[in-house]
Structure 1
Amino acid sequence: MAGCLFALLSFSQSGSVNKTAEFDHSTVFVRDLQKSADFYEKVLGLERIAEPFKDGRHVWFRIGAHDQLHVVSGATEAMPHDVNVHLAFRVASFGDFVSHLDQLSIKYRKSIRDAAKGTSVRPDGVHQLYFQDPDGYWIEVNDDKF
């Protein structure tokens, strides 16, 4: 019994069991790679980064210090996407971003539950809105200050 306890303690102290997974990337599968890449650059201001495939089917963007968005071509038809499944980005100036969307004629909605045009304020005071990319993937933009 003492040997089993020692082995158990040794294993748990090694640190390999309690490691937490970290977010790496998210992927959107698109019909028109250039149109989608232009959208993410122009609308969200994302920075393109090198991708290893070099096959003309991938565009990668930096979306945080170590996180990425992978845009991959090959979809043959538009698929319906539920607004509850979305990518969320935060911006420093929510008002400026709303003006940017208006200038680009991007349609947006108040919230997950309210499809009316506009913005909303969550119970924690964060302003938010939702819109779709060219393939119908939902995107939330907010001004969370965490």
Structure 2
Amino acid sequence: MEDDTSLGCMTDNSTRLDHVVLWVRDPVASADFYEKTLGMEPVRLTEFAAGAVSFPSVRLNDETIFDLMPLTLADGMKMVPGAAESAGHPVNHVCLALPADDFETLRARLEEGSVPVSDFSRDSFGARGTARRSFYFRDPDGNVFEARHYD
């Protein structure tokens, strides 16, 4: 049995964001977008393509992944009443806090890829206080993201 340290995971039990599940039309194309545009590492993509797992993920950091859930699985979501209807994007947006250099790199990648981005917002409140700048964009499936930096 592998321990958490061999998996590169945090071993303390403090509360953290583990994963976010995003509904997507094409998990492989979505993984490609997140890898090339946001620099996220694909997880279980080969296994998904081989039919061994029902969805792939992309790694945001050592502690957090985004699961790329195929919309075709929505009808099977029975964990709580109404879960299948969550495929209609009830989440307003997901915010990524980045170092200033990565923030600039992300915006440049999005613009190079012809992904529409919003104007900059300034001095927005968030988990770490007031963010200096932020902007919004959508992934290929219409999920809205905010990118921000605090420094």
Which protein shows a greater Rg? 1
1:7-63 Cα offsets, whole Å, 9 max, x none, are: xxxxxxxxxxxx864321111121112221111111111011237875354111211
Query: How do residues 54-73 of structure 1 correspond to structure 2 at under 5 angstroms?
Result: 55=52, 57-73=54-70
Aligned counterpart, 2:112: 103
- Structure 1 moving runs of 4+ over 4 Å: 51-54
Computed over aligned residues only, the root mean square deviation of the Cα atoms, in angstroms, reads 2.8
Partners of 1:75 and 1:141 lie apart in 2 by 28
Residue-pair matches, total: 117
Of stretches 48-57 and 87-96 in structure 1, the one that deviates more from structure 2 is 48-57
Distance 1:102 1:30 in 2: 22
Verify: 1:89 aligned to 2:96, yes or no. Answer: yes
Q: Is the alpha carbon distance of 1:102 and 1:41 closer, same or farther for their aligned partners in structure 2, counting shifts above 3 Å?
A: same
Which amino acid in structure 2 is aligned with residue 126 of structure 1?
R
Q: What is the deviation of 1:71?
A: 0.5
Aligned-residue sequence identity (percent) comes to: 26
Q: 1:125 to 1:105 in 2, by over 3 A?
A: same
In structure 1, the gaps of 5 or more residues are: 1-18, 110-117
TM-score (normalised: structure 1)? 0.65
More helix by share: 2
